Amino acid sequence: MKEIILKTIDSSLYRNFISARQEKEMKSLATSLRGEKIYFINSTAFGGGVAELFYSLIPLIRSLGVDIHWYVIEGDNRFFAVTKKIHNLLQGGEGAITPEEIQYYLEVNKKNAEDFNFPVDLVVVHDPQPMPLPLFVSNKITDKPKLIWRCHIDTSRPNPQAKKLIQSFLPWYEKTIFSLDNFARGLGVRDKKIIIYPSIDPLSPKNKYLRAQVSRGIVRKFGVNLNHPFLLQVSRFDPWKDPIGVTDVYRSVKKKVPDVQLVLIGSMAMDDPEGWMFYERTLRHAGEDKEIFIFTNFDGVGSAEVNAFQRSATIILQKSIREGFGLTVSEALWKQKATIGGNVGGIRLQIENGKSGYLVNSNREATEKVEELLLDEVKRERFGEEGHRTVAKKFLTTRHVLDYLKLFKKLVN
């Protein structure tokens, strides 16, 4: 395991996003946690929503005086291929894990546990990749820490074999955190469950305010014609995110709106070897259509560029088939964009159908809603305003920090 060092940020910068009462409560909770050491452990420092959350949560919690650290487990492509298979099976995918794959999964966690020989009070383990760690560190720690497992994926209908595997590790954890109650039910978790919604950072490079002139200038450099409408989806290249389906929706819409364009943006993560394969498949499906633009972080599209594309898009989609939460939905709503999302998982928490966007169950429904919104600028603006209010109330980093501090205090006491 290796520690990811992040700079502390000034918590006072977030006062515009939190009430005076909440700020007072946050500081009081942080004071009660002085002297406690807390670790977050996950599988990658870059790419995907979990790592992105940490870049805001950990510095903000630390700025309040809490001793919190971020550690990343290390593994090779074989390990991450196994954990991606577990991920897919937990989301209801078909297939099976072989005994050899399970053994390797455990061996890599055991190797990472060799570094875990320091005093700690609370440990939050994120997702399946590092979940077996407690099996191998329990005998090395004199005062056992409180262990929490945070599941970020949709486990409402897991593959039975993957479910059984995850359930075998659950007794080691005092609490489990999910984004939705039915995700916990899918794994048979009852007494231990805590519901905490993920969040976006309103001051991060991806979400901070950009003037329209600046945003449009950035987008123009990538060849998109801003005199014509464009659809946007930002997500990993992953079958659950359905970029193939989004491309098909675009092609259907184009029959009625010939000048529409499509932009797909994805970040390639270290713990997702399947991502490159699906990226190539998405490119092949797009073919030689010059009005489909596909970018990754390797094309120079980072957080600031994503911000610009989201602020300049006509309509934003997140047409997921399964979704633990979908931070890109909150990002889109925060930027006051009409958003169409798959009617699944955490997307339902964020979009109120017909009020702040649309929830769809098929390509046909998505096509109909895109066509409707392209012709109705007033509705696009109304959806955007309502969506922004929803995110401000429920899905910002400040609320997320407060939820964690409350849980930490409860466990320590």
Least confident of 41-50, 79-88, 175-184, 264-273: 264-273
Average pLDDT over residues 206-231: 97
CA distance 147 to 172: 7
pTM of the shown model: 0.93
What would the pLDDT profile of 309-339 be if each residue is shown by its tens digit? 999 999 999 999 999 999 999 999 999 999 9
What domains can you pick out in the chain, each with its CATH number?
A: 2-199+396-412 (3.40.50.2000), 212-394 (3.40.50.2000)
Residue 7 has pLDDT above 90, yes or no: no
| 3-class secondary-structure state, position 227 | coil
* 256 band by pLDDT with thresholds 50, 70 and 90: very high
Supply 373's token pair: 């919104």
Judge whether 316 and 41 are in contact, CB under 8 Å. Answer: no
Q: What is the pLDDT of residue 142?
A: 52
Q: What is the pLDDT of residue 59?
A: 95
What would the pLDDT profile of 268-289 be if each residue is shown by its tens digit? 876 677 888 899 999 999 999 9
CB neighbours of residue 296 within 10 Å:
18
Q: What is the pLDDT of residue 190?
A: 87
What would the pLDDT profile of 81-131 be if each residue is shown by its tens digit? 999 999 999 999 999 999 999 999 999 999 999 877 767 899 999 999 999
The mean pLDDT of the chain is 94
Q: What is the pLDDT of residue 139?
A: 57
List the one residue out of 83, 71, 153 whose CA is nearest residue 116.
71
